[in-house]
Chains A and B, each alone.
Chain A
Amino acid sequence: MAWRRIWRTLVFAVCGELAVSAATAGPDYPPVLAGTVLRFPEDGGAHPDFRTEWWYVTGWITDERGVERGFQVTFFRVRTGIGEDNPSRFAPRQLVLAHAAIADPAAGRLLHAERSERALDPLAGAATGATRVWIRDWQLAWTQDHYRSRVDAGSFAFDLRFVPPGPPVLNGDNGFSQKAGDPKHASHYYSRPQLAVSGSLRVDGATVAVTGRAWLDHEWSSELLPEGARGWDWIGINLHDGGSLMAFRMRDERGGALWSAGTLRTDGETRALRPGQVAFTPQRRWRSPRTGAEYAVEWSIDIDGRRLELRPLMDDQELDSRRSTGAVYWEGAVRLLESGREIGRGYLEMTGYAERLRM
């Protein structure tokens, strides 16, 4: 009902579906400027002045019996511009939201859950100084040399540890990631690919030990989406050779690319991919029986002259929470193939395919 809409509004404010015009009265959100130098672990923490920020972990995990599953946990932070002058601890200056999902081929669809809170110590918050975001017992935090995330959604739960093999990979121009032709639409953006996963997972009432590879994105901005954008397609792939590939495109109303970019890291060398070097071409499509939205679940992706193929872990990885929070997008585990050979695994995200939202 009301909260579904508010949630939807929030999620898409975060995800960029909603183009909030700069004319809206509100606080002065700092611009994202090229040349800003990112420092760690400080920049792993929150940047509460900016409008939106997220920490986004996806990955493939395998249990002792060899069952492969995908997982996703995302924490969003939103500076609402409301109650900036309100001394109340309840003042909704900052909201924290979280999504968690498990892609289990045995279930054939996603298990997912979400939470939302106003930042309010000790219940929920996004700390500065180092990565630490939490909503009550759901959390993602950096300690010394690893991340840890715990989520208990009732129907599933996980407690995972992520160890990065090396320093963060800065996307775009040293972490300045442009989203449109106009450089004001940009974010600060770094990724942590090839995270070694270990921990436990509970599904169907049974807790199993799991290992795997994961990917963390941390991105913050004040004005992400250009006018006319309907959604985006994004991939983050851990390559089997130890490298990583991130690529995205901003899509217009008709499905054409407004902007695309990426980061390819091979043999310890990071290359920023410019708009002309990244192309997404839909192949096989799948229609959601729940929402009626049609997603391309197989893609061919051209990266700087290489033609790569994307294949999903399973077709139905749509996150449909219209009954509770209203967000609808496809967020799923995929394999990356080159010449029919699997060269990496990661996640594909497609937003803005569901029926036109009534805002």
Chain B
Amino acid sequence: MFEIDDLKKGFGTAGARALFEGLSMRVQRGECVAIMGESGVGKSTLLNCMAGLEPADGGSIRLDGSELVGLGDDALAGLRRRSFGFVFQAFHILPHLDVAQNVALPLWLLDVDDAEADRRARAMLERVGLRDRARDWPRELSGGELQRVAIARALVHRPSLVLADEPTGNLDPGRAAGVLDLLLECIRDAGAMGILVTHSQAAALRADRILRLTAGGLLPEAERT
């Protein structure tokens, strides 16, 4: 269970102006939630706050009951390492590691031994349909393939929560649907939670729920329509 209560975040000097406040949401295990919103409304900031990459100015963020707000930098890093998975719009696949190594990277950070990490990375690659590309270099892969590597990497260490920031933003619409389906499927299969930040209606519709981030807070899409 991932819970956000009364979250507040400002910007400017010492958060003088509120970007958002009073945000609350719940995500259950096995559930994928899409967050939509206009540009500049603070979608990415919200995501960063959820991941502990940016500090919140108030409120509470709890993952399976443990509080994130107020944790130290290293504690947050440890939490991210164990319980979070990330998928970025720009993929962020390291060019000097091969595909399998990129996928194994989170396991390295968790001190899983090489053989086990490689085994799990390959299993994950098989899951995303890239079994044969394990020893290829990232530069040899297409954008859709790179994002599938990123999905494998986001899930290889069995995180509780996967955060995806415009995961299909760099992909053509044809590929986007497949990649997105794969991501959501993997999250559900793993019994994890997914939060998908996007401005694409088509992408958002594939999630279990849609929340819209506005100046007034996080509103369920259903209430708006």
- Whether A and B touch directly in their complex, counting CB atoms under 8 A apart, is answered as no
